[in-house]
Amino acid sequence: MRGLSFDTLLALSSLLGLGHAFEDNAVADEIVLKIATVPVATGPTPTTPLRRRSSTSKPVSDLTTRSYGTPSSWPTGTGTAPTHTRSTVSTSSSSTAVSPPACTDHWLAKIDHQGFAPYVPSPSTYKVFRNVKDYGAKGDGESDDTEAINRAISEGGRCGPGKCDGTTISPAVVYFPPGTYLVTSPIIDYYFTQIYGNPNCMPVIKAAANFTGAWVLDGNQYQSNGLGWGSTNVFWRQVRNLVIDLTGVSSTTALVGIHWPTSQATSLQNILIKMSSANDTQQYGMLIEEGSGGYIGDMVFKGGLYGMRVGNQQFTMRNLTFVGAKTAISQLWDWGWTYSGLTIRDCDVGLDISNMDGPRISTASIVLIDSEITNTRVGIVTARQASGNNPPQGNTLIVENVRLSNVQTAIQGPSNSTLLVGTSSSTTITGWGQGTGYVGSSGPTTFQGSITPFPRPGGLTAGTDFYHRSRPQYSNLPASQFVSVRSAGAKGDGVTDDTAAINKVIAHAAASRKVVYFDYGLYVVTSTIKIPAGSRITGEGLPVILSEGEFFNNMEHPKPVVRVGKPGDEGAAVEWSDMVVSTRGQQKGAILIEWNLNSKTPSGMWDVHTRIGGFKGSNLQSAECPKTPETSINPGNLNQKCIAAFMSMHITKSAGNLYNENCWLWVADHDVEDGAHNVQITIYAGRGLLVESASGNVWLWGSGSEHHQLYQYQLARTQKIFGGQLQTETAYYQPNPDAVIPFPADARYRDPVFAAGESGWGLRVVNSTDVLVYGAGLYSFFINNNNSCAAEASAFKCQSRLTSIERSRLHMYNLNTVGVTNMVTLDGVDVVSFENQRNGFVSTVGRYTS
């Protein structure tokens, strides 16, 4: 199941009806909160890439010249930078009411705040946690809180748009207590910022009637030369538990709730955006015009011309609700996108993917599963024709398990043609698709119509839908149920060995059923951190567990930095959220995360990332690990001090029942700190994610793995694996050196064996069954740090092969590749060529079964 049905929500308040704004924001808060936290039944560009990371690493797309760039059809403008003056506020009779005193306190507002940022100029005075009311915000629905909020975000010499390339040095957690915060110009987000409201009584950010600017919350403020940060370089940020209210602004004023051009390790969650439902409304809930995301979940969009207008290389979006929009989702462009758990109600159009870039279809591929569309004229609009499409695979579409109720046209094609009729009652689209498909080595076959859905193993589902679970926020727990690692003796100063203190507090908290709270910091560890069954761990602003020393530096005897359970452990589920695991310097034997636990109900990881190099404190930045494309690298001259990890994550044979959402395993391709200007670097890490779970039941929602030597994902002797928009990049330096060094193939880990000159696999599946992938973007952008091989017009690609399926049963929708000649290799034989699957900058296979 997905959260509460809208029938249940309607029972909560008759005010949810189309055309009626919430008069009591407590009702709105409760609705969004319940959608996000209701218990779920446990089942067990022209020719240049829009990636990556710096102006010197990849060509810059002329995105803004396209029809979906910054046209007159959506709000434009730079927004308003933080000022230090108050303006006169115009109020409206429809102003949202101030939150009532009955709102429950949130533990985050009551615990001691001890986050420590060791590399800012003045660590002892720098504030990681910022309550906007401490900066003068009133939250009374009448005072102009714009300047106070922006000051809470920006104070302390932080990384602002257009002023800073990026950073991991100056984090901030910006907290909104319950209230209504009136704003007259945009809230400007800064790099490495987490913005949270109280989930028990969600605060409202309300645009005043005299609001000036293009968007209420600006996640990447435009400058005179474009976005403040390159959209594919914006990492490690979150926004959750807010109501954004546009209804006080004239319906004819073009205004967007959230502007969010972003990249990996970012998330939006548990947000309600309220817009005008007038016939002439020009308001959007959210605009994403570019980037390389990303994950968004548990959001409600009410009213508006568009619930969302979105374009990005790839994204995973889950549990989104749209009520009373003209168009719920306008898809501007993409390479690959996975939508799951959409609820679209009382809209004119549900999902419109028909946008054109001149004569070309701009949306490459979409997966839509486990969703419902109700009282809506047209469910899906596509521009794809039966033949003669430009590009040939444009608008590849997979629809599976989508429930319709009173939908006139289920799927509409060009010129208002009907591709799938709707219903005046109720029905379910069990499977429908358009694109090309392969079975084994047979294909391609073209399809547009009903398809047989992939078989879903019972362990992966809850009812008929794939199992999912939103991040726990512990909103009903008091502050006394949280144990701070700094209060328990850990320092997080990037110097002190915190191993013993961390292990002690985790063990104690698990025994007493308390939640371990990692105050922000860099926690140096010199031996394994052990997380037992039943642990609950969460972090403040993505704190770092940082391995160091010889214990992790033996390639022959690798050791986990963090170990969850011992081999063979069963028991209570583990919950782990909002943290980073990293290495410092040479760590040839470091396995950053080893998961052994097979819990009785699904354990979970949410926004837990691995980051290898490229940041302050790693000793793996541009000074230590420069790229060397002019030098032929061999075992004798390879930069040994930049061999930084054995593996990012290992789900072992005894493990199982693990839910993984928005977790990014990243080997840095560039130095992210300000002043480095995103310069490319070369860091060696052997392996990405290895899944060997014998029992399976592993979910990978919005998962990314990049720049490892041998592979990004390897599934070996496992079963019952779900992947919802997997994303990979080959190491930029390959094949100099190639995938043979510095880590030799190790039979203990079922490593692939490469010939000289080859690059690593994006996805390798070996001796496995019941592997289901609902969207994958596997990219190879470089040969020896040169990206000309990735150009759409290039006949010479960056690598020969990227996906290997060996003696396995795999079902995959929407495989999108960049820079690879052979998209799929089956039992050693290349079976899918990119030439037959062209889809603009990517190549796309709509449906593949091995």
Residue that wins the pLDDT comparison between 10 and 431: 431
Mean pLDDT score, 151-166: 97
Q: HSE-up of 400 (CA within 13 Å, CB side)?
A: 26
Question: How many CB atoms within 10 Å of residue 309?
Answer: 23
Q: HSE-up of 98 (CA within 13 Å, CB side)?
A: 9
pLDDT of 97 higher than 50:
no
- Kindly indicate the confidence band of residue 324, based on its pLDDT and cuts at 50, 70 and 90: very high
Residue that wins the pLDDT comparison between 80 and 547: 547
The dihedral built from the CA positions of residue 676, 680, 683 and 685, taken in this order, carries a sign that is: positive
pTM to 2 decimals? 0.90
Displacement of CA 151 from its chain's centroid (Å): 27
Q: Model confidence over 451-509: pLDDT tens digits?
A: 999 999 999 999 999 999 999 999 999 999 999 999 999 999 999 999 999 999 999 99
Q: Find the farthest-apart pair of alpha carbons in the chain and give their distance in angstroms, rounded.
A: 74
- Kindly indicate the confidence band of residue 795, based on its pLDDT and cuts at 50, 70 and 90: confident
How far is the C-alpha of 406 from the C-alpha of 199, rounded, in Å?
Answer: 33
The dihedral built from the CA positions of residue 51, 57, 59 and 64, taken in this order, carries a sign that is: positive
The pLDDT score that the predictor gives to residue 448 is: 98
- Kindly indicate the confidence band of residue 105, based on its pLDDT and cuts at 50, 70 and 90: confident
Mean pLDDT score, 752-764: 98
The pLDDT score that the predictor gives to residue 4 is: 32
**SS3 category, 14:** helix
pLDDT of 157 higher than 50:
yes
At residue 669, what is the residue type?
D
The pLDDT score that the predictor gives to residue 103 is: 77
Mean pLDDT score, 357-373: 98
Alpha carbon of 679 to those of 166, 650, 674, 676: distances in Å? 12, 30, 10, 6
Look-up of token digits 């993409």: 334
Q: Model confidence over 258-309: pLDDT tens digits?
A: 999 999 999 999 999 999 999 999 999 999 999 999 999 999 999 999 999 9
How far is the C-alpha of 146 from the C-alpha of 155, rounded, in Å?
Answer: 14
Instruction: Please report which residue ranges of 75-178 form alpha helices under DSSP H.
Output: 107-110, 146-154
Number of helices followed by number of strands (H, E) in the chain = 5, 58
**SS3 category, 452:** coil
Q: Enter the tokens of residue 133.
A: 């009311």
Contact at 8 Å (CB) between 309 and 283? no
At residue 668, what is the residue type?
A
- Kindly indicate the confidence band of residue 37, based on its pLDDT and cuts at 50, 70 and 90: very low
Tell me which of 31-35, 517-521, 662-666 is least confident: 31-35
How far is the C-alpha of 201 from the C-alpha of 242, rounded, in Å?
Answer: 9
The residues pairing with 685 across neighbouring beta strands, listed in sequence order, are 645
Mean pLDDT score, 310-325: 98
Q: Model confidence over 594-649: pLDDT tens digits?
A: 999 999 999 999 999 999 999 999 999 999 999 999 999 999 999 999 999 999 99
The dihedral built from the CA positions of residue 736, 741, 743 and 745, taken in this order, carries a sign that is: positive
Contact at 8 Å (CB) between 27 and 15? yes
- Kindly indicate the confidence band of residue 256, based on its pLDDT and cuts at 50, 70 and 90: very high
- Kindly indicate the confidence band of residue 88, based on its pLDDT and cuts at 50, 70 and 90: very low
Question: How many CB atoms within 10 Å of residue 348?
Answer: 13
Residues with Cβ within 8 Å of 73's Cβ and at least 6 positions away in sequence, in order, are: none
Displacement of CA 118 from its chain's centroid (Å): 27
DSSP state for residue 133 in the 8-state scheme: G
> Considering only CA atoms, which of 669, 583, 552 is closest in space to residue 264?
669
Residues with Cβ within 8 Å of 744's Cβ and at least 6 positions away in sequence, in order, are: none
| Domains annotated on the chain, with CATH | 1-33+99-245+264-304 (2.160.20.10), 479-786 (2.160.20.10)
41, exposed or middle or buried, with CB in 10 Å at 0-12, 13-18, 19+?
exposed
Mean pLDDT score, 673-684: 96
Question: How many CB atoms within 10 Å of residue 102?
Answer: 9
How far is the C-alpha of 759 from the C-alpha of 756, rounded, in Å?
Answer: 9
Alpha carbon of 604 to those of 158, 395, 666, 699: distances in Å? 32, 33, 19, 9
At residue 69, what is the residue type?
G
How far is the C-alpha of 202 from the C-alpha of 204, rounded, in Å?
Answer: 7
- Kindly indicate the confidence band of residue 655, based on its pLDDT and cuts at 50, 70 and 90: very high
Question: How many CB atoms within 10 Å of residue 678?
Answer: 25
Mean pLDDT score, 205-223: 98
Residues with Cβ within 8 Å of 343's Cβ and at least 6 positions away in sequence, in order, are: 2, 6, 320, 321, 322, 371, 372, 374
The pLDDT score that the predictor gives to residue 641 is: 98
Displacement of CA 55 from its chain's centroid (Å): 23
The pLDDT score that the predictor gives to residue 200 is: 94
Mean pLDDT score, 402-421: 98
Q: What is the DSSP string of 801-827?
A: E-EEEES--EEEEEEEEESEEEEEEET
Contact at 8 Å (CB) between 515 and 478? no
- Kindly indicate the confidence band of residue 58, based on its pLDDT and cuts at 50, 70 and 90: very low
Instruction: Please report which residue ranges of 89-175 form alpha helices under DSSP H.
Output: 107-110, 146-154
Q: What is the DSSP string of 632-666?
A: ---TTTS-GGGEEEEEEEEE-TT-EEEEEES-EEE
Looking at the chain, the whole-number percentage of residues with pLDDT higher than 70 is: 88
Residue that wins the pLDDT comparison between 65 and 25: 25
> Considering only CA atoms, which of 339, 82, 407 is closest in space to residue 213?
82
**SS3 category, 443:** strand
Q: Model confidence over 537-569: pLDDT tens digits?
A: 999 999 999 999 999 999 999 999 999 999 999
Mean pLDDT score, 244-258: 98
pLDDT of 385 higher than 90:
yes
pLDDT of 754 higher than 80:
yes
Alpha carbon of 338 to those of 676, 724, 773: distances in Å? 34, 7, 10
The residues pairing with 728 across neighbouring beta strands, listed in sequence order, are 705, 778
Mean pLDDT over each residue of the chain, to the nearest integer: 90
The pLDDT score that the predictor gives to residue 104 is: 77
1, exposed or middle or buried, with CB in 10 Å at 0-12, 13-18, 19+?
middle
pLDDT of 80 higher than 80:
no
Q: Which helix (H) or strand (E) is 25 found in, with range?
A: helix 25-37
- Kindly indicate the confidence band of residue 73, based on its pLDDT and cuts at 50, 70 and 90: very low
The pLDDT score that the predictor gives to residue 494 is: 99
